[in-house]
């Protein structure tokens, strides 16, 4: 029996496998030691704060995309806090400055509006640049697509005196390899070479999927070292997916089986509420011991337990016929999953638990009607 099917794990439940998380963190520590770069946790991809005591043993801090994420980083992680958002209101700046060490602006107008206040607070100022170089496969996740609202293009930045700007921030990758980073750096150095000579740090954003099998970690290290030595820069990476990559599943249960042009298994989870990238990217998540349609003896469409007609996860096959009460294990559900969940339709929200390295399971959080009600007014 899979250790994710232990009797004390409820259904539905997100299960963090502590051993697998440490494996990823140890690889990141190796990258930091060999390259001299700093790696921080992108909360937009993974913000399970009950895991912060382990993560902060390895990573330098967090990056936040909002005031609330910055508070989570400052109060629960307690190391460096870097912030970037497409736009800040005055109230955002007022709340962020006591919390953050670095703050990056998305536009020249935002920088000009707030730079004096930020500098007076002793916070290091950065500007997000757009290298106009595309690597992301999915348009929804491509910050360098034509017409992007994210980052300042070289043609605009070259018109301004960057006095007071200490860093540049570039992010155009999404679950990419080190060769995508190399091509990105070529674009950045070509378009922003003069600015790189003027600043103290370069934040390379996220999308560096260094914990995926087959990723060329040594090539990544060589690129980071070259960058540091060429421009005398502090180099920062802020992955989210790579930290939590393949560190635990979403466990669920079959509630009913109906037939409409084939059998459909209804689950106690919802794609739209609990695995939104299944519909947004879209993609087909892996299920332990399941195959493609027709590959194994029994094929089913799997549907979520909400009223959305399109709340369908996909078609899978199994060695044995499914029955009500059977458990399924949706793999790799830690990154960009919990952070995007909703209480849509009032469907029971999955619990959150940790499977510790000694085999002990802790259910950290279960959700109730009161949690659902508190989201409304």
Q: Running DSSP on this structure, what letter comes out for residue 208? A: B
Instruction: Identify the pLDDT of residue 2.
Output: 86
Give the rounded percent of residues in the chain with a pLDDT score beyond 70.
100
CATH number of 18-243: 2.60.40.10, 3.40.50.970, 3.40.50.150, 3.20.20.10?
3.20.20.10
Instruction: Identify the pLDDT of residue 27.
Output: 98
Confidence category of residue 1, pLDDT binned at 50, 70, 90: low
Mean pLDDT (the chain, rounded): 97
Give the rounded percent of residues in the chain with a pLDDT score beyond 90.
97
pLDDT, tens only, 261-292: 999 999 999 999 999 999 999 999 999 999 99
* 277 carries a ligand binding annotation: yes
Domain-wise residue ranges, the chain: 18-243, 247-374
CATH number of 247-374: 3.30.70.980, 3.30.750.24, 2.40.37.10, 3.90.1150.10?
2.40.37.10
Task: Give the contacts of 15 (CB within 8 A, at least 6 positions apart).
Answer: 4, 9, 248, 249, 250, 251, 353, 354, 355, 361
- Asked whether residue 205 carries a pLDDT value surpassing 80, the answer given is yes
Q: Output 238 or 3, whichever has higher pLDDT.
A: 238
């Amino acid at each position: 029996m899979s250790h994710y099917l232990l009797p004390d794990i409820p259904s539905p439940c997100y299960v963090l496998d502590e051993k697998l998380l440490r494996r990823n963190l140890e690889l990141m520590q190796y990258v930091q030691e060999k390259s001299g770069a700093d790696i921080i946790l992108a909360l937009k991809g993974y913000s399970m704060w009950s895991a912060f005591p382990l993560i902060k043993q390895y990573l330098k801090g967090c990056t936040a995309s909002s005031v609330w994420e910055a508070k989570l980083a400052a109060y629960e992680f307690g190391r460096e806090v870097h912030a970037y958002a497409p736009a800040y209101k005055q109230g955002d700046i007022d709340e962020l400055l006591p919390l953050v060490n670095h703050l990056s602006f998305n536009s020249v107008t935002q920088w000009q509006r707030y730079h004096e206040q930020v500098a007076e607070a002793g916070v290091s100022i950065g500007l997000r640049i757009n290298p106009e170089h595309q690597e992301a496969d999915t348009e929804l996740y491509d910050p360098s697509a034509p017409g992007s609202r994210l980052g300042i293009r070289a043609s605009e930045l070259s018109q301004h005196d960057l006095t007071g700007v200490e860093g540049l921030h570039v992010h155009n990758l999404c679950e990419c390899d080190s060769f995508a980073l190399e091509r990105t750096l070529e674009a950045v150095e070509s378009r922003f070479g003069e600015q790189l000579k003027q600043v103290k740090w370069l934040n390379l954003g996220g999308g560096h999927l260094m914990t995926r099998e087959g990723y060329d970690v040594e090539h990544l290290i060589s690129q980071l070292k070259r960058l540091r030595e060429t421009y005398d820069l502090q180099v920062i990476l802020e992955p989210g997916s790579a930290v939590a990559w393949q560190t635990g599943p979403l466990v669920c249960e079959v509630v009913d089986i109906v037939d409409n042009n084939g059998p459909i298994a209804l689950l106690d989870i919802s794609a739209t509420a609990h695995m939104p990238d299944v519909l947004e990217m879209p993609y087909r998540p892996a299920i332990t011991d399941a195959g493609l349609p027709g590959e194994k003896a029994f094929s089913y469409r799997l549907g979520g337990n909400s009223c959305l007609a399109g709340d369908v996860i996909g078609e899978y096959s199994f060695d044995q016929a499914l029955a009500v009460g059977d458990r399924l294990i949706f793999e790799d559900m830690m990154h960009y999953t919990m952070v995007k969940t909703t209480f849509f339709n009032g469907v029971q929200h999955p619990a959150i638990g940790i499977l510790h390295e000694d085999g002990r399971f802790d259910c950290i959080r279960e959700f109730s009607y009161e949690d659902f009600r508190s989201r409304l007014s």
